[in-house]
Homo-oligomer: A and B are copies of this chain.
Amino acid sequence: MTSEILHDPIASRLGYLLRRASSAMMADLGRALGEIALRPVEGTILILIGANPDCTQSDLGRMLGIGRTNMVPLISALSKRGYLDKSPVDGRSFALTLTKSGEEARRQVDKIMDAHEERFARLIVGQDVAGLRTALALIAAQPEDVPPS
């Protein structure tokens, strides 16, 4: 069978192309951020806290489409690593800020993400990148991007 030509009626589906493209970019980002021992999600969280000091982990979850529940181990890990400061604002929530080393890590993440985006931007030169962004944003804005709770 390996010698025969396999045809792939799925390759023309938009959803499948999206999934594979997303997976390829995520894999690349994962590899790149691996150099500073961070996962894409963790890098993203550092960026977001840098841009929104004193936000809560629920705020982050809403921005990222990640449920409260699943934010716990993420924030906990970054905190244990000395990247985050938590200061109580409420009786229940904490204002998150970057520590000195957290800010340093954030800078590295930013640089790595820039290079990563550049790598892929080069792949699609000549394409309508603005149109691509618009289309992706339209698709992403579909329901169910809302986290469970």
Contact = CB atoms under 8 A, between A and B. Distances in A.
B117 A139 contact: no
Contacts of A140: 17, 20-21, 23-24
Interface in A5-50: 6-10, 13-29, 31, 44, 47-48
A110 to B, nearest CB: 9
A117 B21 contact: no
Contacts of A124: 135, 138-139
Contacts of A22: 15, 18-19, 21-23
Interface stretch (A67-75, A76-84, A125-133): A125-133
A145 B26 CA distance: 11
